[in-house]
Amino acid sequence: MGILGLSKLIADLAPQAIRESEMKHFFGRKVAIDASMCLYQFLIAVRSEGAQLATVNGDPTSHLMGMFYRTIRLLDNGIKPVYVFDGKPPDLKSGELAKRAERREEAEKALKAATDAGDDAGIEKFNRRLVRVTKEHAKEAKELLTLMGVPYVDAPCEAEAQCAALVKAGKVYATATEDMDALTFGSTKLLRYLTYSEARKMPVKEFSYDKLLEGLSINNREFIDLCILLGCDYCESIKGIGPKRAIELINTYRDIETILDNLDSSKYTVPENWNYKVARELFIEPEVANADSIDLKWVEPDEEGLVKFLCGDRQFNEERVRNGAKKLMKSKQAQTQVRLDSFFKTLPSTPNASNAAKRKAEEAKKSANNKKAKTSGGGRGRRPK
């Protein structure tokens, strides 16, 4: 799932690329949301007394509950969401998917063991691990979104890639997902924790692609190679190369080919038939629908339709659904506050400020080097064990 350790690497080496702010500061922005990720979160998190919310027949409705209220919350804050659904997984992902299936099997076994042992905590834990988003869930979610007047996009392949394409085409401001590979696909802005529940009080983290490349002093191709080295969903990574080593290698050799030529093969084993090239292609030119042809429209919600869809068998409280629909209406009618950045253009930073920034970056580098020296020393000490 995503890129291993990327967010930590960015926080350590390019902290200027991350900005934390409250949700309300994003008002007036359109964001593309990875729907599959969202549904998965809701299925896991939206529960009462450990059990999923369900219809009279026992089909889960947690995802609908989550989708309904989180979307309302976004719109209430003036954010316009567009949901992007996954299409078929790329062939390269089969390895990763097989691994996930394996883990499910393990979880299933563990669940059985826990049930036999009567271990309640264990049952709950493994039950959650067995959650998966099915086509049926996605279909229901789409139906709900249509009734709410919120647009969605069916990605031909990976949702993150499609989100990134929408951002690049200027259709939306950012991608909201927890999955860092949206950055690898070149999404200029990535928002984390945007769809988290209000109760968790998580500030929204905004990652800027440009500042990130600047901070790591690499270009977009090198960044893709870096992500492959860190470990992505599409191919294996080289054992023994962690985030620190990966960025060092990229900084010295600039691409995977050169790294492989110079890599000490006695120390690191490169996976057999390592198809990093295909993975790289996938990141550079993912299969996406042309963003320019996608028309995003937010329309008025269908209150009666919502009540019919959610109340009946799905056992939602009618009053709450109607209240929700009213909120949707209100956010639709309110005049929109424009942001100043749509009138005034950002100037390139003054030489004064950029000098100061450079100085600071150099200092940061120095202190990072010191730290590195210390930690590598510690590593050496540990190895003999």
**Sequence-separated (6 or more) residues with CB below 8 Å from residue 132:** 40, 104
**Which CB atom, from 326 or from 332, has the smaller least distance to another protein?**
332
Closest to another protein by CB, 214 vs 281, is 214
Q: Which is nearer to another protein, 272 or 295 (CB)?
A: 295
Name the burial class of residue 26, with classes exposed (0-12), middle (13-18) and buried (19+) by CB atoms within 10 angstroms of its CB.
Answer: buried
Minimal distance, residue 28 CB to another protein, in Å: 8
Binding site for another protein (CB under 8 A): 16, 19, 21-22, 24-25, 27, 297-300, 332, 335-347, 349-350, 352-353, 356-357, 360
Q: How far is the CB of 336 from another protein (least distance, A)?
A: 5
With H, G, I as helix, E, B as strand and everything else as coil, classify residue 23: helix
CB 297 → another protein: shortest distance, Å?
7
- Specify the residue, 315 or 349, whose C-beta has the smaller distance to another protein: 349
Tell me which amino acid residue 309 is: F
- Least CB distance from residue 164 to another protein, whole Å? 23
Q: Which two tokens stand for residue 7?
A: 């967010």
DSSP per residue over 247-301, as a string?
Answer: HHHHHHHSSHHHHHHHS-TTT-PPPTT--HHHHHHHHHS-----GGG--------
Q: Are strands 47-48 and 51-52 parallel, antiparallel or unpaired?
A: antiparallel
Distance CA 101, CA 95 (A): 10
Q: Are 224 and 280 in contact (CB under 8 A)?
A: yes
Nearer to another protein among residue 266 and residue 337 (C-beta): 337
Q: What is the smallest separation between the CB atom of 293 and another protein, expressed in angstroms?
A: 17
